[in-house]
Amino acid sequence: MLLFIPASLKPGQMVDGWRVVKPLGSGSFGAVYLVEKEGQRFALKMAMHRASSGDAEQSDARLMRELVCLAQVSGHPNIVRTYAHGRWNDATRGWLYVVEDYVEGYTLGEWLEKTHPTAHEVTVLFVKLASALAHVHARSVFHRDLKLSNILVRASDGEPFLLDFGVGSYARAPELTEGPLPPGTRRYRSPEATKFLREHGEESEARYEFKATDDVYALGICLYDLLTIARPWSESPAMFLGGRLELPAPHSLNPRVPAALGAAVLHFVARAPEKRAPTAEVMRRELAALLPEVGIAWREPFHVPRPPVQLAPEAPPVLSQEVPAPAARRGLATARGAFVVGLAVLLGGLVLWRFVTPSEAPPAARQAPVTSSSSRQVDPALKQPLPPPTPATTSPEVASPVSAPEPKESPPVKRAPSPLSPPPASSTRKPKPLAVSQGTARGFGFRVEEAGGGERGEGARFTG
């Protein structure tokens, strides 16, 4: 079964007698699983690629290098041990795996946030880590990637462990690095390594010679971060420290740090390697000398415990005891709906009244008498009603608006020149009233409808 991805192992699957319990993590180099055998639990790390499958990341070679490093440094209580290795599912071309100690606990950053240690407890922890690093260097091995996430603290007893030697190196190890510097994390890179990269970064054959002081600097930065950053795991630091300036004293950034411990840390992270602790053993002795220190600064947490921020549930609105909260919300929604409906009805009524009610409309009680000659056409240019026929002695009166105190005579209107027959001789004939449609009122006047079905005039205004 060569069509396989190491990160796809399922719980219950067997790998050469090791039963997979659950995945623990994966990256570009490999995947890690919690496995079980004969009632005991272990960590199984498997390379992401096979050596014969175009391994661009050289994950197979790096896992093999980690296996060799762990074999050489075995025997220290604060370094993970190996128990088995092999190739699955083909003895010659399968995926390389290594079975190691399973440390159930926290990374160094998590441990700080969860336990809120004192300065004394941190010093005890780093005495053990410096001892493990001295053990590694004594066997001509360099870790080369010390950082907070590569150090675990066991939850049951607080013992620290160095792990992940995937980019480590040992005497006469094959060269895997293609650049001037070995793989690592920039924040924990020593100033001299940074200077070498700046000066020889463009040289393809340049290779930095890693030394014990580089590992000492990286472990010193781990301690520096714990003392100066309250939440290094939740808010992982990203600032680059290996620059040209000396780091400020930890007790100047965090006054709760004992000054003696801060001074020791500055010795571990000195910018110039000749001013730095030359070996991990020197680092261990300097830290061990601080263990007898007493005082409140050494026995209380140097970071004030800060509980994680949690969103509080929204408090219910304060209502009267007679009305429960759901009913009150329904009543509020009903009141808002009624207000919107009432507003819409009011606006609709205003619009309807504006277009139906005539402006300056005269009362219909009195209408001007009009003779049969009113059937003549009205000049569109004049937009005025025709006067009564000639036999009438006086101009007919038009009803005045209600607001007028007394009636006024209508001004004469010029007749349209057209050949019309003369009016009948008899003057006793009653004039035909002008038909005014009250229901067609517009905003600016009336619509006048003539008796003979003639042309309609729009906008005629009765002025009284």
The Cα 390–Cα 394 span in angstroms is 9
Q: If DSSP states are collapsed to H, E and C, what string results for 159-223?
A: CEEECCCCCCEECCCCCCCCCCCCCCCHHHCCHHHHHHHHHHCCCCCCCCCCCHHHHHHHHHHHH
Question: Are 358 and 391 spatial neighbours (Cβ–Cβ below 8 Å)?
Answer: no
Within 10 Å of residue 22's Cβ, how many Cβ atoms? 10
**278 Cβ partners below 8 Å, 6+ apart?**
212, 213, 216
State whether residue 62 is helix, strand or coil.
helix
The Cα 36–Cα 303 span in angstroms is 38
Question: Are 403 and 463 spatial neighbours (Cβ–Cβ below 8 Å)?
Answer: no
Q: Which of 78, 151, 21 is nearest to 32 (CA)?
A: 21
Q: How far is CA 53 from CA 15, 57, 174, in A?
A: 20, 11, 20
User: What stretch of H or E contains 97?
Assistant: strand 95-101
The Cα 212–Cα 277 span in angstroms is 10
> What would you measure as the largest C-alpha separation in the chain, in angstroms?
145
Within 10 Å of residue 311's Cβ, how many Cβ atoms? 5
> Using alpha carbons only, what angle is made at residue 394 by residues 388 and 395, rounded to the nearest 5 degrees?
45
CA 419 to chain centre: 88
Q: Which of 263, 315, 319 is nearest to 293 (CA)?
A: 263
Q: Supply 57's token pair.
A: 């990341």
Q: Supply 215's token pair.
A: 């590992």
The Cα 221–Cα 188 span in angstroms is 6
Question: Is the bond leading into 89 cis (omega within 30 degrees of zero)?
Answer: yes
Residue type, 373: S
The Cα 62–Cα 317 span in angstroms is 61
Question: Are 195 and 206 spatial neighbours (Cβ–Cβ below 8 Å)?
Answer: no
Q: Is 211 annotated as a binding residue?
A: no
CB-side neighbour CA atoms (13 Å) of 349: 6
User: Which segments are annotated as binding site?
Assistant: 45
User: Which segments are annotated as binding site for ATP?
Assistant: 45
